[in-house]
Amino acid sequence: MSDKKRILVVEDEKTISDIVVFNLKKAGFDVLTAYDGIDGAKKAIEEKPDLVLLDVMLPGMDGWEILQKVREVSNVPIIMLTARVEEDDKVRGLELGADDYITKPFGIQELTARVRANLRRSAEYVSQTKTSVFGDLTIDLNNYSLSKNGVAVELSGKEFALVSFLAQNSGKVYSREDLMSEVWGYDGYFGDVRAVDVMIRRIREKLEDDPSEPQYIKTKRGIGYYFGV
């Protein structure tokens, strides 16, 4: 059995899909394709790829709906591909559980770097076997899960990675650039540091009794974020 990572490319523009597939295969990945939303959702759930590159504008079912369906059953890393540059679109993707986004037109070097970074981070967290308790939070790296007072908290893969990283380094302040490097796996050249703020806000809404007065992920004004209980 091949140990190559499998990437699912869900893109209805065949020219773009062919270029992406060619270069991903050249980089050493196995690649699956889907050209519409319905087939994309089916393969994302049934084929269990290691990562999904998901276009937003698709026939049959758009990328937002696919993202929501996949997140109901899987924490597979998902990178959104979008021709739209509006800030609201980027925020929406992150809030629905996307791990990353890249705006068309994009360079193959950047795309490949993001794919490798997301795969690497996913593998690192899955491979750890450790359960930690922080106040009323329990973080289980074995099962990729987090609970508060014994009640499961639903987090996307990247949200879990961010929480667990900060918790394992409790008290240490990290800048947005630091977190982009440590959790996303690449520097500010490839990543939009605003993604950190969006994800922190989303996590606080799920974890905090009062997100405006966070008890877990706190802000060090002018510097960054840290975990403290």
Please give the CATH number for the structural domain made up of 6-124.
Answer: 3.40.50.2300
Q: Take residue 81 and report the two structure tokens written for it.
A: 């591909």
Indicate where the chain has its CATH 1.10.10.10 domain(s): 129-227
The rounded distance, in Å, linking the Cα atoms of 35 and 7 is 14
- pLDDT at position 73, please? 83
pLDDT of residue 189 exceeding 70: no
Give me the mean pLDDT over the 12-23 stretch: 95
Q: Take residue 86 and report the two structure tokens written for it.
A: 């509006």
Count of H-run helices and E-run strands, the chain: 8, 11
Highest-confidence segment of 81-90, 138-147, 157-166: 157-166
For 129-227, which CATH class? mainly alpha
pLDDT tens readout for residues 55-67: 999 999 999 999 9
pLDDT of residue 2 exceeding 70: no
Q: Are 12 and 20 in contact (CB under 8 A)?
A: no
124 Cβ contact list (under 8 Å, min separation 6): none
The angle subtended at Cα 149 by Cα 146 and Cα 155, nearest 5°, is 25
What percentage of the chain carries pLDDT values higher than 90?
Answer: 49
The rounded distance, in Å, linking the Cα atoms of 138 and 167 is 10
DSSP state of 107: -
Indicate where the chain has its CATH 3.40.50.2300 domain(s): 6-124
Residue with token string 């924490």: 75
Q: Are 186 and 113 in contact (CB under 8 A)?
A: yes
